[in-house]
A and B are shown apart, each in its own frame.
Chain A
């Protein structure tokens, strides 16, 4: 019971650590995911191939393997001396971007083809058509699956803890090693995760309702 009170600063830091890596990886995943989705529907074949390869490789690789690459291979080539926070963000963000890409792509295909044809007939470029016409209309469909993806990302961030990044799972492992009862540690850790995931689903529900009113 009092493991929480005794180690409140550690739990707080762990919580903030989870929050920080979730936020930065989510941002990276969203930006990359939308970009790669654009590549996948692009009229330029090399971009399409790149997009498909990106999704195939990142979505089908176990996340732990990506972390291994991020922490032990990437620093050998670039990002020498990068912090576990940066490397963890890269691994999580890249991995999740493949799921975001597919969610966005499914949203794109729900927008009637005529919308893009009308935009192109006005002389809009491919990227203008995507940015101004198709993506805004795809957003509504994409929000529910995105919510699930970001929640999964939050829970996946625990793997960063196993690689020495200070977050909730990392704290629970630390305290467990000190001999505290594992049940209580896990209970508090789980509650802390719930706070984050509930906040995310609430945020997305709010977004969904906003979009519903928009037209």
Chain B
């Protein structure tokens, strides 16, 4: 468990912005497995919500339903008061406003780092090349990989690749960023460089949904911790309250397993 310096301006009472992402009574099955059960969750503008829980609890699936990489069986999801449309042009437009960072980075292997960050801007936003490149270089500098712009993803370390992936998502000026276990595939010494970028993003007021096992990050950057188990949201609380004084037995059990070793 890596510890990230606690920043007191983040982490604290939830911002009172308007609801940005709303999940209403969402259900999903994988065959016989009921992976999401009656999920109700509202994420407000500017809020950082960290989703934790044992593996197989449905937290990644939850994250992926928000930009409809996973479809849901019943219930409603809306982003910025607009319900998620069916697959098609409409959905593509909405996805452009939702940044996604994957566990396995998923940088485009046949494109350079710079092209990775430019592609969405030029092909989806139809920004001209020069503007897109300028913005891409600025973002790469911001996440600390500006010197690697001309390299291919395979030539970078995992931590660098993940920071490029964050820059790629930010290039679309997303309303909300989804992080699906962004540090789980990283070597321990690279976790902090990614978490620091995410900390900075949280301080800058980005709305974020973060699925993670990094309790240090949850403590220091989250406005709210959502604890999931067996496809259900068991507990929602401010980080201090959740970590120091969890209400449910499931959460107590989970925390005792991960914090005491």
Q: Which residues does A use to contact B, with CB under 8 Å?
A: 43, 112, 114-115, 117-125, 128, 132-133, 136-137, 214-215
Contacts and interface: CB of A to CB of B under 8 A. Distances in A.
Given A122-B120, A122-B172, A115 B108 contact: yes
B258 interface: no
A210 B119 CA distance: 23
A136 B102 contact: no
Contacts of A128: 123-124
A121 B98 contact: yes
B6 interface: no
Contact of B119 (A117, A120, A122): A122
A118 B92 contact: no
B69 interface: yes
A124 B123 contact: yes
A123 B87 contact: no
Contacts, number: 67
B67 interface: yes
Given A43-B87, A215-B152, A118 B172 contact: no
Nearest to A137: B110
B93 interface: yes
11 contacts: A114-B102, A117-B100, A118-B100, A121-B98, A121-B169, A122-B172, A123-B96, A123-B120, A124-B123, A125-B92, A132-B119
Contact of A121 (B89, B95, B107, B152): B95
B124 A121 contact: no
B45 interface: no
A206 B83 CA distance: 51
A124 B124 contact: yes
Interface string B227-261: 00000000000000000000000000000000000
Interface in B97-152: 97-100, 102, 104, 106-110, 119-120, 123-124, 152
Interface SS of chain A: helix
The 6 closest A-B CB pairs, nearest first, are A123-B96, A122-B120, A114-B106, A118-B106, A121-B100, A123-B124
A123 B172 contact: yes
Contacts of B97: 123
A119 B95 CA distance: 10
Contacts of A137: 109-110
A121 B108 contact: no
Given A122-B96, A123-B95, A114 B172 contact: no
Nearest to A132: B123
A124 to B, nearest CB: 6
A125 B119 CA distance: 13
B1 interface: no
A122 B94 CA distance: 9
A111 to B, nearest CB: 9
A121 B69 contact: yes
B163 interface: no
A117 to B, nearest CB: 6
Given A114-B106, A122-B95, A133-B108, 16 more contacts: A114-B102, A115-B106, A117-B106, A118-B108, A121-B69, A121-B169, A122-B96, A122-B168, A123-B93, A123-B94, A124-B123, A128-B124, A132-B119, A137-B109, A215-B110, A215-B154
A79 B164 CA distance: 54
Contacts of B67: 121
A9 to B, nearest CB: 48
Contacts of B168: 118, 122
Contact of B110 (A117, A122, A124, A214): A214
A53 to B, nearest CB: 22
A124 B94 CA distance: 10
A113 to B, nearest CB: 9
A146 to B, nearest CB: 18
A54 B98 CA distance: 37
A134 B152 CA distance: 16
A125 B123 CA distance: 10
Nearest to B153: A215
Interface string B146-186: 00000010100000000001001100100000000000000
A124 B89 CA distance: 9
Contacts of B99: 121
A136 B109 CA distance: 10
Given A43-B87, A215-B110, A215-B154, A118 B102 contact: yes
